[in-house]
Amino acid sequence: MENGAANPIIVCENVKKWFGDFQALRGVTTSVEEGEVVVVIGPSGSGKSTFIRCINRLEQHQEGRIVVAGIELTSDVRNIERIRSEVGMVFQQFNLFPHLTVMQNITLAQVWVRKRSRSDAEQRAMALLERVGIPEQAAKYPGQLSGGQQQRVAIARSLAMDPKIMLFDEPTSALDPEMIKEVLEVMQELAGTGMTIVAVTHEMGFAREVANRIVLFDEGQIVEEGPPSEFFANPRHPRTKMFLSQILSH
Amino acid sequence: MSAESFDLPLPPEPPPKVSRIGWLDWVRKNLFNSVFNGTLTAVLTAGLLLLILAVLRFVFSPDRRWEVMPPNAANYVVEAYPREDLFNMWLSLWIVAALAGFSTASWGMRGQVSVIKVVAAVRAIGATALVVGVLSLWSPAGSATQTVLVFGGVALFGVGVGAMRLVREEREVSVARVLAIVGALLVGLVWYMPLESGTTWPLTITALVVAAFHWVGKLVGQWLSDRLMKRVVTILWVLSFPVIYLHIQRNPSLVWEEVTSWLPWAGLLIAAGPAVIWIVSRAGREQAAGVNFLLGAVAIYSWVIQWPMAIRVLFLLLTLFSLATPTFAASPRARRAFYWTWLAGGVCTLYLFLAGIGSTDLATRGHFLGGINLTILLAVGGTALSFPLGVMLALGRTSSMPIFRILSIVYIEVVRGVPLITVLFFGDKVIPRFLPPGLDFAGEAKALLAITAFSAAYLAENVRGGLQAVSKGQTEASRALGMTTAQMTMLITLPQALRVVIPALVGQAIALFKDTSLVAIIGLADFLRVARDIVPNQPDSLGSILENLLLAALVYWIFAFSFSRASLRLEKRLGVGTR
């Protein structure tokens, strides 16, 4: 499924990762183009979360190569911090800082990591809150917001660092059905602006409509990948057929 | 995404009516609702009454000599501190009072309290005084205090009940005003009590200083933003420690002829500093180097021809500031901060020279602090010093670096396995052996070190618990944002960890406060020892040990109780928005 395009922003070559004796990644090779939206799906325990957490080194791969925005992930701390400020990440459990207001959540890393002045950071934060649709919540604490609002703040917090790549690790799995839509809308708008996105999600509607490519993980390997139209219409691998029949049957 | 309202079939209902019950009903329902509970209530009430009567009989017995206490006020508060240097003590108290007044302007004193609550408090105080006064009439002999209690109680209770009928609707009054009235009453009490001569005026001044600086703080607060104001208050408090230390331990006696020879020049130099910084920041590379060279040359020359020490040090400082200007004063904002740093640094240097010149070390006359002063110094100093040490130990223990981890674990486990008395002895007897012969710290300092070392180990364990309570997601989120480990610790993990452990930390501070009484064992005279040993052995108050022990208990309780109330407030204020 190599499309041979010129500008890969993430390159993974034969990435392997073990947790003790358990092998979570068994040689993953793929690349992501700039501006591409990749949705990673797969059964639980298939290594999809581990894979995207390896991209900003929240997990450390043990064999193979990962190059992000031209920087290779080695154990050099400076490299890691540089990559992390280029790669935004949104978590399943939001992970907002509960002791800070929404505004402080979004400005903190801008001031300390990006070295912006406080007023610049606040302006940027307000613009982003506007963009995710909750400017009126700026002064509240995360505990006072609904799950959907918290996740949108988390997205704004990542975007404030002007990342080149956004990683989403099951961003809607901890949300009530009514709130999933508001988060997906924000993600869809983001994809429309040309942001490179790698998202682990179970939202097949989102995958079908927004993704450029879908990647199916199983047992630590990529089983099949391809554009959504092909992937859903004629899956080639029997594992893909079984997975799709299970999630689409009801 | 605004919430639309739909016409749902059921309109909201008003909340259920609460039936108000009288106090008699309440008593019947809660205290006498079964035979067993009724009996229990009766027995316990009787027991409590007997206990109160016994206490009152003790307090109001003609054998009690409470009148020996006011003349001993100085013993309780400062004990052995040289009486002729007592002014230093008052000055320190005024510094604290000024800072307290200044701080209250920025901390939550803008609050309002309902008038009904104030009136209810007056009524409750009156009722208590009345009950105590009446019960005390069963004691063998009457005294003036009993009369005051009974009549004062009746008056206060009457005023309270009357005012309660007048105040119908909710009205509020500022907390500051209520505190001002209470303060005025306390000052009145000071003038009424037969205290040691020469204390009434200084105490009155203390109250006035608090009020004046509260007002100053309010004025300054209109100028500065809230954040800046808080920073100023914190800096002033931190600065106050060395200042107070200097005034208590050393007795600055200025030789004015000497001081006036260099003071104007030093002032001029400090005032000229910003101009130098401005020139250097504006000038090109070569001109700046020229200015630096000139300053450095003068600084060295001043050492050669032996100008007054203050001038020499200030020139050296100015050279350093000038050299650092390109790094620290690049933007106009940074330059402004740099000016202030220079001015503050210059004034502090000047102060150190002024206070240091011709001062005499009071510590050389044996132990110099005692009484409540020593207790407060050990408790406040121990808490303040052991806090950073304990936090560092906790971070060390959870660190991934083996050296720090092992050192922290060894320290914590060794100190926690040893009683405080052992640590105190260790500090008193072993520390001098590590110092050059003939040199020794004051006993107060050694006790403070020992208490700090002891408390830090316990504090570290509390903080470690808090650190473990911070979820892994928090560290992952901060890492994903590109924060360094130090930023993550200072901005994310520690603030959350400390918030969780506030109750434990306050509990520990209270325990530390009470444990300071153990320093009597290495020969220091803390408040308890003064009350137990020293005052009862004074010629005018010989043998008044029971009275003094009761007083000590009361004072310790008042301190500990107000501490725990303050911590409740702190918890409430910091608890905003956390889960």
Give tens-digit pLDDT for A19-66.
Answer: 989 999 999 999 999 999 999 999 888 999 999 999 988 999 999 999
> What ipTM was reported for this prediction?
0.91
Select the residue of B483, B491, B496 nearest A98 (Cβ to Cβ).
B496
As a three-state string, the secondary structure of A193-214 is CCCEEEEECCCHHHHHHHCCEE
Q: How far is residue B546's CA from residue B500's CA, in Å, rounded to a whole number?
A: 41
Distance from the Cα of residue B412 to its chain's centroid? 26
Q: What percent of chain A has pLDDT over 90?
A: 65
pLDDT at B180 over 60: yes
pLDDT at A111 over 80: yes
Q: Specify whether the CB–CB gap between B506 and B564 falls below 8 A.
A: yes
Higher pLDDT, A72 or B136: A72
Q: What is the pLDDT of residues B66-92, one digit of tens each?
A: 888 877 888 888 887 777 778 888 888
Select the residue of B473, B477, B482 nearest A85 (Cβ to Cβ).
B482
Residue range(s) defining the domain that contains residue B51: 23-59
Residue A52 domain-assigned (yes or no): yes
The pLDDT confidence band at residue A107, using thresholds 50, 70 and 90, is very high
Q: Are residues B245 and B298 in the same domain?
A: no
Question: How much is the pLDDT for B2?
Answer: 47
Q: What percent of chain B has pLDDT over 90?
A: 22
Give me chain B's average pLDDT, please: 83
Angle among Cα B343, B346, B347 to the nearest 5 degrees reads: 85
Determine the residue type at B390.
G
Which helix H or strand E contains B251, and what residues bound it?
strand B250-251
Residues near B281 by Cβ (< 8 Å), separated by ≥ 6? B325, B326, B329, B330, B335
Residues near A118 by Cβ (< 8 Å), separated by ≥ 6? A107, A111
Q: Specify whether the CB–CB gap between A239 and A223 falls below 8 A.
A: yes
On chain B, the residues whose CB falls within 8 A of the CB of A185 are: none
Residue A190 domain-assigned (yes or no): yes
Higher pLDDT, B134 or B458: B458
Higher pLDDT, B174 or A221: A221
Interface test with A, best of B481, B489, B492 (most A CBs within 10 A): B481
Question: How much is the pLDDT for A2?
Answer: 44
Give me chain A's average pLDDT, please: 90
Select the residue of B491, B499, B579 nearest A108 (Cβ to Cβ).
B491
Q: How far is residue B224's CA from residue B204's CA, in Å, rounded to a whole number?
A: 30
Q: How far is residue B355's CA from residue A27's CA, in Å, rounded to a whole number?
A: 72
**Cross-strand bridge partners of residue A88:** A166
The pLDDT confidence band at residue B568, using thresholds 50, 70 and 90, is confident
Q: Which of left, alpha, beta for A4 (phi over 0: left; psi -120 to 50: alpha)?
A: left
Q: Specify whether the CB–CB gap between A134 and A154 falls below 8 A.
A: no
Task: Indicate yes or no: CB of B483 within 8 angstroms of CB of A97.
Answer: no
Q: Are residues B245 and B267 in the same domain?
A: no
What CATH number does the domain containing A59 carry? 3.40.50.300
Residues near A209 by Cβ (< 8 Å), separated by ≥ 6? A188
Task: Indicate yes or no: CB of B480 within 8 angstroms of CB of A158.
Answer: yes
Question: How much is the pLDDT for B577?
Answer: 44
Q: What is the pLDDT of residues B301-323, one digit of tens each?
A: 888 888 888 888 888 888 888 88
Select the residue of A113, A144, A182 nearest B481 (Cβ to Cβ).
A113
On chain B, the residues whose CB falls within 8 A of the CB of A156 are: none
Question: How distant is the Cα of A140 from the closest Cα of chain B, in angstroms?
Answer: 8
Residue B347 domain-assigned (yes or no): yes
Chain A nearest-CA residue for B471: A95
Question: How distant is the Cα of A182 from the closest Cα of chain B, in angstroms?
Answer: 9
What is the arithmetic mean of pLDDT over A71-76?
82
Q: What is the pLDDT of residues B428-451, one digit of tens each?
A: 888 888 877 766 667 888 899 999
On chain A, the residues whose CB falls within 8 A of the CB of B575 are: none
Residue B87 domain-assigned (yes or no): yes
Question: How much is the pLDDT for B145?
Answer: 75
Say whether B489 sits in a helix, a strand or coil.
helix
Buried/exposed code over B465-495 (b: 16+ C-beta within 10 A; e: otherwise): ebbeebeeebbbbbbbbbbeeebbbebbbbb
Q: Are residues B112 and B235 in the same domain?
A: yes
Q: Are residues B129 and B244 in the same domain?
A: yes
Residues near B474 by Cβ (< 8 Å), separated by ≥ 6? A95, A97, B492, B493, B496
Q: How far is residue B67's CA from residue B436's CA, in Å, rounded to a whole number?
A: 49
Q: Which of A152-166, B20-34, B387-401, B515-529 has the lowest mean pLDDT?
A: B20-34
Beta pairing, strands A87-90 & A165-169? parallel
Q: How far is residue B368's CA from residue B80's CA, in Å, rounded to a whole number?
A: 6
Q: How far is residue B514's CA from residue B382's CA, in Å, rounded to a whole number?
A: 12
Cβ neighbours around A53 below 10 Å, total = 22
Q: Are residues B122 and B169 in the same domain?
A: yes
Q: Are residues B408 and B495 in the same domain?
A: yes
Q: How far is residue B452's CA from residue A192's CA, in Å, rounded to a whole number?
A: 59
Residue B569 domain-assigned (yes or no): no
Q: How far is residue B155's CA from residue A233's CA, in Å, rounded to a whole number?
A: 91
* Structure token pair of residue B428: 């008193």
On chain A, the residues whose CB falls within 8 A of the CB of B474 are: 95, 97
Question: How much is the pLDDT for B356?
Answer: 66
Q: Where are the alpha helices (DSSP H) in B137-255?
A: 144-166, 175-192, 200-223, 226-249
Q: What percent of chain A has pLDDT over 70?
A: 97
Q: Specify whether the CB–CB gap between A154 and A190 falls below 8 A.
A: no
Residue A1 domain-assigned (yes or no): no
Residue A62 domain-assigned (yes or no): yes
Q: What is the pLDDT of residues A150-205, one digit of tens each?
A: 999 999 999 999 999 999 999 999 898 888 999 999 999 999 999 999 999 988 88
Q: What is the pLDDT of residues B512-551, one digit of tens each?
A: 999 999 999 888 888 999 999 888 888 887 888 888 999 9
Helix axes A118-131 and A102-112, enclosed angle (nearest 10): 130
- Which DSSP symbol is given to A158? H
Question: How distant is the Cα of B541 from the closest Cα of chain A, in angstroms?
Answer: 55
Q: Are residues B152 and B28 in the same domain?
A: no
On chain B, the residues whose CB falls within 8 A of the CB of A182 are: 1
Q: Specify whether the CB–CB gap between B552 and B520 falls below 8 A.
A: no
Which helix H or strand E contains A182, and what residues bound it?
helix A177-192
Instruction: Count up the domains in chain A and report the number.
Output: 1
pLDDT at B493 over 70: yes
Q: What percent of chain B has pLDDT over 70?
A: 90
Q: Are residues B88 and B196 in the same domain?
A: yes
> Exposed (0-12), middle (13-18) or buried (19+): which is B327, by Cβ within 10 Å?
exposed
Residue A3 domain-assigned (yes or no): no
Question: How much is the pLDDT for B255?
Answer: 66
Say whether B367 sits in a helix, a strand or coil.
coil
What is the arithmetic mean of pLDDT over B341-350?
86
Higher pLDDT, B190 or B465: B465
Higher pLDDT, B47 or B242: B47
Q: How far is residue B111's CA from residue B122's CA, in Å, rounded to a whole number?
A: 19
Select the residue of B473, B491, B578 nearest A95 (Cβ to Cβ).
B473
The pLDDT confidence band at residue A127, using thresholds 50, 70 and 90, is very high
Say whether residue A143 is in contact with chain B using an 8 A CB cutoff: yes
> Exposed (0-12), middle (13-18) or buried (19+): which is B264, by Cβ within 10 Å?
exposed
- Closest to B175 measured CA to CA, from B108, B237, B233, B124: B108
Q: Are residues B515 and B418 in the same domain?
A: yes
Instruction: Count up the domains in chain B and report the number.
Output: 4
Residue A20 domain-assigned (yes or no): yes
Which helix H or strand E contains B172, and what residues bound it?
strand B172-174
Q: Are residues B384 and B429 in the same domain?
A: yes
pLDDT at B573 over 80: no
pLDDT at A222 over 90: yes
Q: How far is residue A88's CA from residue A74's CA, in Å, rounded to a whole number?
A: 19
Residue A39 φ then ψ, to 5°: -110, 125
Q: Are residues B109 and B242 in the same domain?
A: yes
Say whether A67 sits in a helix, a strand or coil.
strand
Residue A99 domain-assigned (yes or no): yes
Question: How much is the pLDDT for A162?
Answer: 92
Q: Which of residues 87-116 of A touch B (CB under 8 A)?
A: 87-89, 91, 93, 95-99, 101, 108-109, 112-113
Q: Are residues B106 and B232 in the same domain?
A: yes
* Structure token pair of residue B506: 């306050």
Q: How far is residue B72's CA from residue A169's CA, in Å, rounded to a whole number?
A: 71
Question: How much is the pLDDT for B579?
Answer: 43
The pLDDT confidence band at residue B386, using thresholds 50, 70 and 90, is very high
Question: How much is the pLDDT for B305?
Answer: 84
What is the arithmetic mean of pLDDT over A99-113?
93
Chain B nearest-CA residue for A161: B481
Q: How far is residue A180's CA from residue A196's CA, in Å, rounded to a whole number?
A: 21
Residue A2 domain-assigned (yes or no): no
Domain boundary among B504, B523, B542: B523
Task: Indicate yes or no: CB of B496 within 8 angstroms of CB of A141.
Answer: no
Count of CA atoms in the C-beta half-sphere (13 A) of B183: 19
Q: How far is residue B397's CA from residue B410's CA, in Å, rounded to a whole number?
A: 10
Q: How far is residue A248's CA from residue B21's CA, in Å, rounded to a whole number?
A: 62
Residue B406 domain-assigned (yes or no): yes
Residues near A51 by Cβ (< 8 Å), separated by ≥ 6? A15, A25, A28, A40, A217
Question: How much is the pLDDT for A1?
Answer: 41
What CATH number does the domain containing B411 carry? 1.10.3720.10
Say whether B514 sits in a helix, a strand or coil.
helix
Select the residue of A81, A93, A143 nearest B484 (Cβ to Cβ).
A81
Q: What is the pLDDT of residues B107-131, one digit of tens each?
A: 655 567 788 888 888 888 988 888 8
